[in-house]
């Protein structure tokens, strides 16, 4: 292969969002599109001369080609070594672990997470730093700046890199190591959790269903849950990663993981149900007839984490994204540890973990994780739940009832209104921001507004500020709603409305009923119908 320099020109709209650059696959496949962005990453991080990088992705359409292009560009840009998952596969948490454990300079992860895959669906790319976590805004801004002035990129042409064979090869002066995507991650999980105890519980008859949704976690879950922990073959369903996820929308929530939900709500439900998303960082936990909301899952994990060997010495502190429910705060208070609130997106947790302030963190969007990596981690959350069940001897419904009895129940729900025209969504948010100052003291039905603001975050570690991270309205008594626009979509705008209300006595209500008055007030204040014409959400979690 020969190293060449290709002339190019800036392409509009290459601004990374909540989690890297996400666009339709066909957009990424247009001439120079991926290459421009990859070169912008390299230039934006100060070049890759002599550096070591991890490369891999969730296996969606174009993952293999893009992995190869990145390797050819890394070599042409002078990188010293690249480590790629076999066939270009790496779950996001496994990539984060490799970046850290191999002491590399960073990594490129190819994924559009839980968005559908295929040539007509979504693709994505993001850069993670040497700590294994998503690049902070200062770095993504620098990358975006390069995309606006880029004139050329460097690449090896005239041959291909074989991603299928495990072992070391070279391209120019760059060493390439193709590694098994699963091995190192499995070792890490074994160092954190009590595999013998979980295996014993499974051998005792605890049936499991893990829905990998035809995405990246299939090989990880089969190796861990079936091969190592001894669950029956077939416990992992949809276990083969497919470029189009077999048409599934690999988002582990009750709407998209409906097959799992039907099973778990049915008469022959296994004791434990779970699912993960496209790139393996999200999770959903379900017991027989018992859906565990992600905010509750995070709180339960915080309250019980010390049963797992990796967390036996206690938690340093915990963190949650601002729209996530305050169930975690109540646990932190009881444990006497700090609870941090951050904007939406995993990147804000990294500084807190690197600074030794938090061990556990999570988001309402089916993301939970700890300082073992710098990404959220779906399989990790599943193993934590199994470890808790194995040590306490309790079922999922028993764990939930006990938790609420001790801490109260933060009824919680998120309503998503998808594909609203962007200008209408922007007008809605602008009007809401304008109305905030006058809301205090106003009543909406039985609800009276106590505070209303536009959330801004001051990072306690690096002193940076992130403004406009969501509008929040708190009512007297503590019920609240939060509203923000999604930063991960690829077309139009998605409005996310998060509602929450603490109940200390009655734990068996339907969340939508328990939250009806908050929802009503939120619709009136935001004027969702007036601005968008929408009366009902597309997805409720």
Residues that are catalytic: 113
CA 166/CA 279 separation, integer angstroms: 21
DSSP strand pairing (174-179 vs 81-89)? parallel
Site size for Zn ion (CB under 5 A):
5
Q: Which two tokens stand for residue 349?
A: 């947790």
Q: Which two tokens stand for residue 76?
A: 């042409």
Give the number of other Cβ atoms within 10 Å of residue 147's Cβ.
Answer: 22
Angle 20-29-172 (CA atoms, 0-180°, nearest 5)? 85
Residue 113 engages ligand G1P in binding (rule: CB under 6 A):
yes
Residue 488 engages ligand G1P in binding (rule: CB under 6 A):
yes
Tell me if residue 260 falls in helix, strand or coil.
Answer: helix
Residue 363 engages Zn ion in binding (rule: CB under 5 A):
no
Residue 486 engages ligand G1P in binding (rule: CB under 6 A):
yes
Q: Which two tokens stand for residue 447?
A: 């609800």
Which range touches ligand G1P (CB under 6 A), out of 31-39, 126-134, 221-229, 484-492? 484-492
345 binds, among Zn ion, ligand G1P, none (CB under 5 to 8 A by kind): ligand G1P
38 closest CA partner among 61, 59, 57: 57
19 binds, among Zn ion, ligand G1P, none (CB under 5 to 8 A by kind): ligand G1P
- Between 170 and 467, CB nearer to ligand G1P: 467
String of contacts with ligand G1P for each residue 199-238, x by CB under 6 A: ----------------------------------------
Query: Least CB distance from residue 45 to ligand G1P, whole Å?
Result: 21
Residue 346 engages ligand G1P in binding (rule: CB under 6 A):
yes
Which range touches ligand G1P (CB under 6 A), out of 34-42, 53-61, 398-406, 485-493? 485-493
531 closest CA partner among 382, 400, 421: 421
Query: Least CB distance from residue 418 to ligand G1P, whole Å?
Result: 10
**Helices marked H in 194-293:** 195-203, 217-221, 258-265
Helix 396-407 × helix 294-304 angle, to 10°: 80
Residue 194 engages Zn ion in binding (rule: CB under 5 A):
no
Q: Which two tokens stand for residue 247?
A: 């048409």
Segment 491 to 510, residues that bind ligand G1P, using CB under 6 A: 496
Query: Least CB distance from residue 321 to ligand G1P, whole Å?
Result: 6
Compute the chain's Rg from CA coordinates. 23
277 binds, among Zn ion, ligand G1P, none (CB under 5 to 8 A by kind): Zn ion
What does DSSP assign to residue 21? E
21 closest CA partner among 154, 141, 148, 126: 126
- Note the residue count of the chain: 541
- What strands lie across the sheet with 338-342, from one edge to the other? 338-342, 317-321, 360-363, 367-370
Query: Least CB distance from residue 188 to ligand G1P, whole Å?
Result: 21
Residue 281 engages Zn ion in binding (rule: CB under 5 A):
yes
391 closest CA partner among 206, 191, 186: 206
Residue 133 engages ligand G1P in binding (rule: CB under 6 A):
no
Residue 18 engages ligand G1P in binding (rule: CB under 6 A):
yes
243 binds, among Zn ion, ligand G1P, none (CB under 5 to 8 A by kind): none
Please name the residues in contact with 463: beta carbons below 8 A apart, sequence gap of 6 or more.
Answer: none
Segment 105 to 124, residues that bind Zn ion, using CB under 5 A: 113
Residue 19 engages ligand G1P in binding (rule: CB under 6 A):
yes
455 closest CA partner among 425, 433, 423, 439: 433
279 binds, among ligand G1P, Zn ion, none (CB under 5 to 8 A by kind): Zn ion
Site size for ligand G1P (CB under 6 A):
14
- Between 20 and 56, CB nearer to ligand G1P: 20
Contact 479, 447 (CB under 8 A): yes
Q: Which of 288, 317, 345, 537 binds ligand G1P (CB under 6 A)?
A: 345
Query: Least CB distance from residue 422 to ligand G1P, whole Å?
Result: 14
CA 185/CA 91 separation, integer angstroms: 9
String of contacts with ligand G1P for each residue 155-194, x by CB under 6 A: ----------------------------------------
Q: Which residues bind ligand G1P (CB under 6 A)?
A: 18-19, 113, 321, 344-346, 363, 365, 367, 486-488, 496
Q: Which residues bind Zn ion (CB under 5 A)?
A: 113, 277, 279, 281-282
């Amino acid at each position: 292969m020969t190293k060449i320099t290709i002339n190019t020109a800036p392409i509009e709209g290459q601004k990374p969002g909540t989690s890297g650059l996400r666009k339709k696959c066909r957009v990424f496949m247009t001439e120079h599109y991926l290459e421009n962005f990859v070169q912008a990453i390299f230039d934006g991080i100060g070049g890759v001369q002599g550096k070591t990088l991890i490369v891999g992705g969730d296996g969606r359409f174009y993952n293999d080609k893009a992995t190869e292009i990145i390797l050819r560009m890394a070599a042409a840009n002078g990188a010293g070594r690249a480590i790629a998952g076999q066939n270009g596969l790496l779950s996001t948490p496994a990539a984060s672990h490799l970046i850290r454990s191999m002491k590399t300079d960073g990594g490129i992860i190819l994924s559009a997470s839980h968005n559908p895959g295929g040539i007509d669906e979504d693709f994505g790319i993001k850069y993670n730093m040497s700590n294994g976590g998503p690049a902070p805004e200062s770095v993504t801004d620098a990358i975006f700046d390069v995309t606006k002035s880029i004139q050329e990129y460097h690449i090896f042409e005239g041959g291909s890199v074989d991603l299928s064979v495990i072992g070391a090869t070279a391209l120019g002066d760059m060493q390439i190591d193709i590694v098994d995507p699963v091995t190192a991650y499995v070792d890490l999980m074994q160092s954190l959790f009590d595999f013998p105890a979980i295996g014993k519980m499974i051998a005792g008859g605890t049936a499991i269903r893990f829905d990998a949704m035809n995405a990246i976690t299939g090989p990880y879950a089969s190796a861990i849950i079936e091969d190592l922990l001894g669950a029956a073959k077939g416990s992992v369903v949809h276990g083969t990663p497919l470029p189009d996820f077999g048409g599934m929308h690999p988002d582990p929530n009750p709407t998209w993981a409906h097959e799992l939900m039907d099973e778990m709500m049915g008469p022959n439900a296994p004791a434990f149900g779970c699912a993960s998303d496209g790139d393996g960082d999200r999770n959903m936990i379900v017991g027989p007839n018992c859906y565990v909301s992600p905010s509750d899952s995070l709180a339960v994990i915080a309250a019980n984490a010390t049963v797992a060997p990796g967390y036996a010495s206690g938690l340093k502190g915990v963190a949650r994204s601002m729209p996530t429910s305050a169930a975690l705060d109540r646990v932190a208070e009881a444990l006497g540890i700090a609870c941090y609130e951050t904007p939406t997106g995993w990147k804000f947790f990294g500084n807190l973990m690197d600074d030794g302030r938090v061990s556990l963190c999570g988001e309402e969007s089916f993301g939970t994780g700890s300082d073992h990596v710098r990404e959220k981690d779906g399989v990790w959350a599943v193993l934590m739940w199994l470890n808790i069940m194995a040590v306490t001897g309790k079922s999922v419904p028993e764990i939930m009832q006990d938790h609420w009895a001790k801490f109260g129940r933060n009824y919680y729900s998120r309503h998503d209104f998808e594909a609203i025209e962007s200008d209408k969504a922007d007008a809605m948010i602008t009007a809401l921001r304008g109305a905030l100052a006058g809301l205090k003291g106003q009543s909406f039905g039985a609800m009276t507004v106590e505070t209303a603001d536009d959330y801004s975050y001051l990072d306690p570690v690096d002193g940076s500020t992130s403004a406009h991270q969501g509008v929040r309205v708190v009512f007297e008594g503590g019920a609240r709603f939060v509203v923000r626009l999604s930063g991960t979509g690829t077309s139009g705008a998605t409005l996310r409305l998060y509602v929450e209300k603490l109940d200390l006595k009655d734990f068996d209500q339907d969340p939508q009923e328990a939250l009806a008055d908050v929802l009503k007030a939120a619709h009136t204040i935001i004027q969702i119908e007036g601005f968008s014409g929408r009366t009902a959400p597309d997805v409720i979690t």
